[in-house]
Amino acid sequence: MQRKLIIFALLLVAIFALPAANGDNLTLWWENKPISQFVYIDLANVDEAQIDTYTTPLIGTPYQQSEIDALQQRLLSLGLFFEVEIIPSRFEGSTESLTLFIEFVPLKPLSSVKFQGNKIATSNELNTAVNLPLNIPFDASALERSIDSIKRLYRAKGYDRVDVIADYTTTRSGEGIEVTFSIQEYQWYINKPIRGFSYKGLINV
């Protein structure tokens, strides 16, 4: 709960620091502003110096979303975190430079996998398809692979279209991850090619 309150407060700072904009010309105020510092949130059991090697080169450079996205991916690729979120804020109250808060969600064991909306495929079939072992550290990149596996399962059953959304929460104890796949199934004939038409009850035409 404390982590959520911190992130909510930071988001409020980012949103309400937006300058007035005209029409559709809204530009995020932090774009191209120099980065003054990074602040780490919930960085536990990891040496800050290790993270500094990735963030320090960006200090003094203008904020570019592509660079921040790349930083996020580099931090995730360390295999130490389930999620990394980077939030821009004003440095010492000024919109002329930035403090970037980085929130780290450490790897946690997968506690449970649930499926919602599935009728064509059974939960057992889906569990076999996603193949997510419980009680070992869960990597968020596995979600995309699992979604692809679910779609392959439906295609094998003759259903060309299915929408899958993966979501996760931490357990009440905060020690594990619970993953839920929400599935929107469609009729088997969606996206199938039309080979021809046949008519019934057509009289005098």
> Would you call 103 helix, strand, or coil by DSSP?
strand
Average pLDDT over residues 90-115: 90
> The CATH number of 2-106 is which of 3.20.20.70, 3.10.20.310, 3.30.70.260, 2.40.50.140?
3.10.20.310
Question: Would you say 55 and 78 are in contact if contact means Cβ atoms under 8 Å apart?
Answer: no
Predicted pLDDT of residue 147: 95
Answer with the residue of higher pLDDT: 11 or 100: 100
> Is pLDDT of 132 > 80?
yes
What average pLDDT does this structure show over 98-103?
95
- For residue 115, the model assigns a pLDDT of 97
Q: Quote the mean pLDDT of the chain.
A: 85
192 or 120, greater pLDDT: 120
Long-range CB pairs of 147-153, under 8 A, 24+ apart, other chains included: 147/181, 150/121, 150/126, 150/181, 150/183, 153/121, 153/125, 153/126, 153/129
Identical fold for domains 2-106 and 110-185, yes or no, is yes
β-partners of residue 40 are 102
Which CATH superfamily groups domain 110-185?
membrane protein fhac (3.10.20.310)
Mean pLDDT of 91-95: 80
Say if residue 13's pLDDT is above 60: no
Confidence of residue 10 (pLDDT cuts 50, 70, 90): low
Q: Coil, helix or strand for 172?
A: coil
Position with higher pLDDT, 31 vs 170:
31
Q: Which of residues 69 and 29 earns the better pLDDT score? A: 69
pLDDT range class, residue 183, cuts 50, 70, 90? very high
Domain ranges of the chain: 2-106, 110-185
